[in-house]
Structure 1
Amino acid sequence: MSVSETKEIIVNGFWKNNGVFVQMLGMCPTLGVTTSAENGIGMGLATTAVLVGSNMVVSMVRKVIPNDVRIPAFIIIIASFVTIVDLAMNAFVHDLHKVLGLFIPLIVVNCIILGRAEAFASKNSVIGSILDGVFTGLGFTFALFLLGSVRELLGSGQWLGQQIMPLDYQPALGFILPPGAFIALGFILVWQKWIDQRATAKK
């Protein structure tokens, strides 16, 4: 794999084709668990672990899976890694596991994971697929962390559990509620598009 190909995988996974900011995939966990930055990090890293593992295995067995059953086979592989991540989180970060709840098993149906298995891992090398999984997952984690940070800061005046806003700050509780997630995500998408437009204008 050349340096340019590696750079393209990294940039596309983290920013240019970010699953949340660009492709608008994985909206269920994005809007459902990002009431705090910590929740966003936890969900993002869990998804990243599944992405890396499933991408690696799909790439390894891509030549032996019949084309007619590739999607069911991919889902079984993804579900296996989700089960591993679910049990590991329950054992080692039980409090976070309880907060994320049903959203962890729902990683199985996250379109980002199946999309990368079908669009990338089933057509590329193991190393490239692992790299794609890592940076697609980190891009997803960044998106959830950023949205969770905005909602937590504006909705409670805290960030990562620490008081940031002045004590007399009146929290905008709407940002903790589901409508606030849509509003915060909208402003973040505007910010992301603005950065891309400035970068394009400088070229």
Structure 2
Amino acid sequence: MNKVDWAVYRDISINGLWKSNPGLVQLLGLCPLMAVTTNFVNGLGLGIATTVALVASNLAISIVRHLVREEIRIPAFVMIIAANVTLIEMLMKAYFHELYGILGIFIPLIVTNCIVIGRSEAYASKNPPLQAGFDSLMMGIGFTLVLVVLGGMRELVGNGTLFDQAHLMFGEAARGLTLSLGADYKGMLLAALPPGAFIGLGFLVALKNYVDKRKAQTVKTPQAQPIVRITPAGESA
């Protein structure tokens, strides 16, 4: 049995969640990112669906990577992704029908999401299943985090609520999870409109770049060197 190289999985985690985050660095999947993130729950629903499709597809692609001829590689990958997305769409229709109605066309459009296709070609087709599955999981979680943070920001600023419509995912018991800034809060319409999504994402990208810059400056800052006194020969320093 091969020894697990935990350093590889650590690097995959950092890469997916931060260094190469699909939403903040690669800027992939911007169409659903902008359209769906009107609130926290919508972002979470699409993020989970995308992550499940990403993991299932990349696992399958990694398993069959040596069996697929080079000439039909991309069409075969798309067929695998489409089959998984169709299954996810059917499950959402059955168990989360109202949420599926809100997310609408963006569920089947996961088939064409650049994140899913990009990771299948760049990583899953070249690596063993365990690493491919873990890479897709971290990329999916990274994308989901951007969706829920952006959705939460827009919902809070635009409507003055947070976790509204949580019952669409977690059942009627979750209706009490909704937080509100109060009846007097009028909301900001710009946050709920498409320009608000661009502005919010811009703030998140700027924040990440700022954190990276500060971290790089901290690493490059030289430590104080000890002072060396030079004395004439024969005298003690």
Bin for the TM-score computed over the shorter chain:
over 0.9
Between the aligned partners of 2:209 and 2:92, the Cα distance in structure 1 is 35
- Distance in 1 (alpha carbons) for counterparts of 2:99 and 2:20: 28
Consecutive aligned runs of 4 or more in structure 1 exceeding 4 Å deviation: none
Q: In the alignment, which residue of structure 1 is the partner of 2:73?
A: 70
1:55 is displaced (CA, Å) by 0.6
Query: Does residue 1:183 correspond to 2:170, yes or no?
Result: no
Identity %: 44
Q: Offset of 1:14 from its aligned partner?
A: 1.3
Q: Decide which of 194, 215, 224 is 1:199's aligned counterpart.
A: 215
Q: Secondary structure of 1:170's match?
A: coil
* Equivalent position of 1:110 in the other structure: 113
Cα offset, 1:167, TM superposition: 2.7
Is structure 2 residue 26 aligned with structure 1 residue 23? Answer: yes
| 2:155 is the alignment partner of 1:139 | no
Q: Which has the higher helix share?
A: 1
The Cα shift of 1:165 comes to: 1.7
CA distance in 1 between counterparts of 2:216 and 2:93 reads 44
Structure 2 residue runs of 5 or longer lacking an equivalent are 165-177, 220-237
Match of 1:95 in 2: 98
Please point out which of 163, 180, 183 is paired with 1:164: 180
Q: TM-score, with normalisation over the residues of structure 1? A: 0.97
Match of 1:54 in 2: 57
Once residues 100 and 84 of structure 1 are traced to their aligned partners in structure 2, the CA distance between those partners, rounded to angstroms, is 16
Q: Distance in 2 between matches of 1:10 and 1:114?
A: 19
* Structure-2 residue corresponding to 1:10: 13
Question: Which amino acid is 1:33 matched to?
Answer: V
Alignment pair present for 1:154 and 2:157:
yes
Which amino acid letter does the alignment assign opposite residue 81 of structure 2?
A: I
- Aligned residue identity for 2:135: D
Equivalenced residue count is 203
1:129 counterpart residue number: 132
How much is the aligned-residue C-alpha RMSD, in angstroms? Answer: 0.9
Relative contact order, higher structure (CA 8 A, sep 6+): 1
Structure 1 residue 202: Cα displacement:
2.4
CA offset digits 1:70-107 (Å, max 9, x no partner): 11111000000000110011111111111000000000
Distance 2:211 2:77 in 1: 35
Question: Larger deviation: 125-134 or 192-201?
Answer: 192-201
Q: Which of 82, 93, 111 is matched with 1:79 structurally?
A: 82
Q: What is the deviation of 1:68?
A: 1.3
Distance 2:59 2:217 in 1: 37
